[in-house]
């Protein structure tokens, strides 16, 4: 039974393609793990939904992964991580890791003056999850949150560089410039798809020493420790596999996923939740 659990895949889900940033980091940190990724592309974005709706969608995604036999679930969505982990952990008989706490800890570690800005969806900002997570990591750090909802559709449509995303990013950064933050946490897994534009605008508006923190690598590091501590990490020398599931638009998802992950992928499967 233990051997079966070790060889079982790691489940990852997000509302769309943004969670591929987490998959890429997990592949680097845990190259031997099998990963099943579910992108709920039929209902993206989650960030504009009511809390009860987000929890319902998250539960449907998580239960589907459980039926696929995963040994743990990484919630590669800040919106879900802000409102649903407790419910998921109570309802599901397996470990559930979110992205907010690792990202908050990484932000605190990167900050020199304890002035931390967070770009996130409206739902994540409204939840207060990042201020709580930062406060748990440091009582001296302050958080300034800014909802940036347009970054999700821009990422989904592939509009990641150019005049339009630059103007949108600049507008969202204005409150963080006023607050004089020295770290900007990307509080949505879609946002790293616009990393080049975000880095350029943060450097120009807030200075070259201002750090941009992507929680994906922090989550991957904690997932590696978590699996190792519980004896659930695969110890084989063979490389792990990736299985991609979506609820809509498999062709466009596959095209973006291949470019983003840097290699050809197996056929994307469409599932009905």
- In terms of phi and psi (left: phi > 0; alpha: psi -120 to 50; beta: otherwise), the region of 249 is left
**Which one of the listed residues 72, 168, 188, 245 is annotated catalytic?**
188
Q: Concatenated DSSP letters for 22-66?
A: HHHHHHHH-TT--EEEEE-TTS---TTS-HHHHHHHHHHHHHHHH
The pLDDT score that the predictor gives to residue 152 is 87
The pLDDT score that the predictor gives to residue 235 is 84
The pLDDT score that the predictor gives to residue 1 is 39
**Which one of the listed residues 10, 77, 148, 268 is annotated catalytic?**
77
The pLDDT score that the predictor gives to residue 2 is 45
Within 10 angstroms of residue 225's Cβ, the number of other Cβ atoms is: 12
Q: Which CATH architecture is the domain 100-215 placed in? A: 3-Layer(aba) Sandwich (3.40)
Respond yes or no: is residue 77 known to be catalytic. Answer: yes
The pLDDT score that the predictor gives to residue 256 is 77
Where the chain has pLDDT below 50, the residues are 1-2
Respond yes or no: is residue 61 known to be catalytic. Answer: no
Contact 269, 243 (CB under 8 A): yes
In the chain, alpha helices (H): 2-7, 20-29, 51-67, 78-83, 85-91, 100-110, 122-127, 129-137, 151-157, 163-178, 195-206, 215-229, 250-261
Q: Please tell me the pTM assigned to this model.
A: 0.88
Stretch(es) of the chain classified as CATH 3.40.50.1860: 2-98+217-270, 100-215
Mean pLDDT of the chain: 92
**DSSP tag of 246:** E
CA neighbor of 14 nearest in space, from 79, 68, 96, 86: 79
Evaluate whether the domain defined by 2-98+217-270 bears CATH number 3.40.1010.10.
no
């Amino acid at each position: 039974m233990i051997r079966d659990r070790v060889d079982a895949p790691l489940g990852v889900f997000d509302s769309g393609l943004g969670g591929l940033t987490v998959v890429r980091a997990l592949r680097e940190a845990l190259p031997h793990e099998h990963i099943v990724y579910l992108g709920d592309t039929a209902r993206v974005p989650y960030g504009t939904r009511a809390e009860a709706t987000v929890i319902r969608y998250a539960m449907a995604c998580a239960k589907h992964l459980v039926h696929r036999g995963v040994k743990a679930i990484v919630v590669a969505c800040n919106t879900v991580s802000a409102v649903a982990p407790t419910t998921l952990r109570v309802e599901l008989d397996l470990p559930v890791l979110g992205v907010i706490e690792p990202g908050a800890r990484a932000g605190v570690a990167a900050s020199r003056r304890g002035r931390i800005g967070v770009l996130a969806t409206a739902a994540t900002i409204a939840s207060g999850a990042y201020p709580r997570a930062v406060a748990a990591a440091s009582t001296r750090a302050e958080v300034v949150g800014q909802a940036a909802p347009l970054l999700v559709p821009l990422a989904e449509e592939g509009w990641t560089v150019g005049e339009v995303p630059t103007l949108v990013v600049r507008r969202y950064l204005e409150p963080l410039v006023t607050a004089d933050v020295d770290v900007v946490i990307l509080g949505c897994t879609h946002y790293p798809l616009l990393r080049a534009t975000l880095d350029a605008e943060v450097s120009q508006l807030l200075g070259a020493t201002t750090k941009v923190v992507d929680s994906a690598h922090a989550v991957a590091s904690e997932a590696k420790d978590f699996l190792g501590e519980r004896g659930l990490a695969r110890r084989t020398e063979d490389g792990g596999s990736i299985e991609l599931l979506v609820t809509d638009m498999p062709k466009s998802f596959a095209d973006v996923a291949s470019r983003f992950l840097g290699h050809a992928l197996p056929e994307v499967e469409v599932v009905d939740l």
